[in-house]
Amino acid sequence: MCVKRWRILTVLYLILLTYLCLREGRAPDPTEPKILQILWPNVAHIPAYAILTYCLFQSVSSINPKVQMGIFSFAFSYGVLIEFLQGFVPYRYPSLSDVFLNLLGILSAFYLVLKVKPIKE
């Protein structure tokens, strides 16, 4: 897929991720197991931000340290901004642990892209 299409896909993914993160939460369901109430929303941060970071890598024409820092800065800042905004959404709240999980997703994508499989030669 060409860089232009990846950029469009990245913007669409950002819109989807923003919607999912900022939509109104729901009150805890007492019939749902407590482990699922805690585990599922937290674990979802890692793949969500890994996918975002991967899309950002695919959206650039060359990868150098300056571009890598830009990708990291954007993805991390976006995650912090989303956590801040969640403080204004009913049944949602900002969390430092979520920021940490976002960071794990970002770093896992960096590892996969830069160490495991180069995306551009």
Tell me the residue length of the chain.
121
Nearest to 22 by CA among 82, 79, 78: 82
pLDDT (tens digit, 0 to 9) for every residue of the chain, 121 residues total?
788 999 999 999 999 999 988 987 666 666 767 666 666 677 889 999 999 999 999 999 888 999 999 999 999 999 999 999 999 998 888 999 999 999 999 999 999 998 876 555 4
Both tokens of 90, joined, read 């009913």
What are the domain boundaries of the chain?
A: 3-12+36-116
Q: Please tell me the predicted confidence (pLDDT) of residue 43.
A: 84
Q: Please tell me the predicted confidence (pLDDT) of residue 50.
A: 97
